[in-house]
Amino acid sequence: MSKNKLSIFSNLASDLPAGLVVFLVALPLCLGIALASEAPPIAGIIAGIIGGIVIGFVSGSHLSVSGPAAGLATIVASAITDLGSFEEFILSVAIAGVLQFVFGIVRLGIIGHYFPSAVIKGMLAGIGLTLVLKQIPHALGYDEDFEGELSFFQHDGENTFSEILKAINNLLNNAAGAYGAILIAVISLVILVFWQSNFMTKMKWTKIVPGALIVVLLGVFINNVLYPGQLSLFLSGNHLVKIDIINNASEISSFLTFPDFSQIGNSQVWITAITIAIVASLVSLLSLDAVDKLDPYKRIAPPNRELIAQGIGNFISGMIGGLPITAVIIRSSANVNSGAKTKVSAIVHGFLLLFSVLFLARYLNFIPKASLAAILLLVGFKLMRPSLIKSMWDKGWSQFVPFIVTITAIMATDILRGIIVGIIVGVFYVFRTNVRKAVDVEKKDDSNYILKIKKDASFINKASIRNKLGTIPDGAHVTFDLTKADFIDHDVVETLEDFKFTAKLRGISYDFIGADDIEISGGMSHKLTS
């Protein structure tokens, strides 16, 4: 599709409804992540607003959506406790923003291009599967855990699976609201799936009115019109969205918190800031790469500009009492699945969060979490679609193992730890592939062998070369073919030189092809001759 067709104003019919869907997804996540981080709930909303409006404007990404990240919840909670006050913590967030801005200026965003593809896809599937499992209790009317809590081990001492078991037990004991929540969740899921069917997508008006809006409005209608007389079905309390209400303009300032600049010299503040800057930058770059893969037009977002945008966003967030911000997968995935085409959808979602806090809080507090759970269940399922798992299996073990390890690690720990484990495994397989494919021995006949170095050789290939040389029998002839290697490390040169002495003892003759054109590390001249 041409740039003109992807211009901002020509896609409002797609971007505005998508922004509304992202808003409905982001609202409970912003609140839940703040509670999981042991921060004021409004801090999550502030981060969501800035992530949408400020980062949305500055970022070069077309479909990525930023906001408070579930992966940072543990770090945030620990930092607030260690620093002793929320005011000191948000000072760290502001400083982290400055550091991220510097990261972008010095072009550290290039790191984002080196994450293994299998890990990126494993992250998407792992977050999707975790999201599905985490929404099951909410769909069953058990809302003891925060929305947006994606860690396996939860703050209340439960874990992902024990929480589901408690939700089932709650249902079997006919707890108030449980069956009402299930009915709303099931109806919502049916509508959402039907809304995306071929039959409905042929109707243009369905693109303007998102299914997510329909299920939210229907959930409010069912709970407030049909259920009130049925106490066993009626949803109230923690079964509903809960936003603090601002009654007038004079109350706005009371919802903002400002940094304690007297702690600017506190080393712990700077340690926290550096930690947030590094982790938030890595998460954002990973998410950016993942969203590029989800983008139906396969556009590539500039990573350095993204770090600059995240830095500006985190600086402003810290200055007015918001949580750390990163590019996030769940909201970005909802954005893509809702048909967004440009960054307008992310910006719209930010303005909707702002508008909702200022004017709509009392009405949003009628929304059942079961309706939102249905929306998130579908988002999660699309992230972990079976076709993705099959395609990774078809690519072989070197791709499937890092993919499945990343999924498992995310489910067993949390997003951040899971990604780290996935990257380690992914790098191991890249290393292993390079070692195995760089050197090969070809047997011409019983007494003639060719050892080919097929790419640049470094110290990591030394063990492989020694093993290959060990397979050549006594009395044979070996030709070292270096025509495809432009550079070899001194370790490899020494290995080949050492073999000359071994060859004399074993009666092996040898010669070299292409040795005169090889560049030796350090610029030293060295002739690998017979």
| Spatial separation of the C-alpha atoms in residues 367 and 220, rounded to whole Å | 5
**For residue 279, which of 78, 49, 38 has the smallest C-alpha distance?**
78
DSSP class of residue 68 equals E
339 by DSSP, 3-state: which? coil
| Spatial separation of the C-alpha atoms in residues 335 and 44, rounded to whole Å | 19
Summary count for the chain: helices (H), strands (E): 21, 8
| Spatial separation of the C-alpha atoms in residues 388 and 127, rounded to whole Å | 14
**For residue 292, which of 109, 71, 134, 44 has the smallest C-alpha distance?**
109
306/226 same-domain check: yes
The pLDDT score that the predictor gives to residue 522 is 42
Domain end: 368, 384, 400, which one?
Answer: 384
Domain presence at residue 6: no
Q: Which residues pair with 65 in a beta bridge?
A: 328
360/509 same-domain check: no
Domain presence at residue 282: yes
85/186 same-domain check: yes
| Spatial separation of the C-alpha atoms in residues 341 and 6, rounded to whole Å | 7
| Spatial separation of the C-alpha atoms in residues 7 and 342, rounded to whole Å | 7
b/e map of 465-504 (b: 16 or more CB within 10 Å)? beebbeebeeebbbbbbbeebeebbebbbebbeebeeebe
354/496 same-domain check: no
152/42 same-domain check: yes
202/331 same-domain check: yes
Domain presence at residue 158: yes
The CATH number assigned to the domain holding 483 equals: 3.30.750.24
Q: Which residues pair with 153 in a beta bridge?
A: 159
| Spatial separation of the C-alpha atoms in residues 321 and 43, rounded to whole Å | 6
Provide the residue type at 371 as one letter: S
Provide the residue type at 321 as one letter: G
| Spatial separation of the C-alpha atoms in residues 79 and 96, rounded to whole Å | 13
Name the pTM for this structure: 0.85
- Which phi and psi (to 5°) does residue 403 adopt? -60, -55
The pLDDT score that the predictor gives to residue 529 is 56
253/167 same-domain check: yes
Domain presence at residue 424: no
Domain presence at residue 421: no
Q: Look at the block and give the residue holding tokens 């982290």.
A: 96
447 by DSSP, 3-state: which? coil
| Spatial separation of the C-alpha atoms in residues 178 and 156, rounded to whole Å | 20
242 by DSSP, 3-state: which? coil
How long, in residues, is the chain? 530
The pLDDT score that the predictor gives to residue 518 is 59
Instruction: Judge contact between 469 and 508, C-beta under 8 A.
Output: no
Using alpha carbons only, what angle is made at residue 473 by residues 469 and 475, rounded to the nearest 5 degrees? 115
User: Would you say the C-alpha torsion 356, 361, 364, 368 has a positive or negative sign?
Assistant: positive
Instruction: Judge contact between 482 and 465, C-beta under 8 A.
Output: no
461/367 same-domain check: no
b/e map of 300-316 (b: 16 or more CB within 10 Å)? ebbbbbbbbbbbbbbbb
Q: Look at the block and give the residue holding tokens 């607003």.
A: 49
> Euclidean distance between the first and final Cα of the chain, in Å?
58
Provide the residue type at 101 as one letter: F
User: What is the number of structural domains in the chain?
Assistant: 2
| Spatial separation of the C-alpha atoms in residues 386 and 20, rounded to whole Å | 28
Q: Look at the block and give the residue holding tokens 């998410």.
A: 287
Structural element, H or E, at residue 471: none
Domain presence at residue 418: no
190/56 same-domain check: yes
Sequence-separated (6 or more) residues with CB below 8 Å from residue 132: 377, 380, 381, 384
Provide the residue type at 90 as one letter: I
Torsion angle, alpha carbons of 405, 285, 396, 394, to 10: 100
**For residue 500, which of 512, 514, 515, 489 has the smallest C-alpha distance?**
512
117/259 same-domain check: yes
Domain presence at residue 103: yes
494/360 same-domain check: no
213/284 same-domain check: yes
- Which phi and psi (to 5°) does residue 451 adopt? -100, 115
Give 3-state DSSP helix, strand, coil % of the chain, rounded to 5: 65, 10, 25
Domain presence at residue 515: yes
Residues in the chain where the model's pLDDT stays below 70: 1-8, 231, 249, 434-436, 455, 516-530
Strand pairing category for 477-481 and 509-513: parallel
The pLDDT score that the predictor gives to residue 139 is 95
Give the domain extent around 64: 11-384
Torsion angle, alpha carbons of 243, 248, 249, 253, to 10: -50
| Spatial separation of the C-alpha atoms in residues 216 and 197, rounded to whole Å | 19
422 by DSSP, 3-state: which? helix
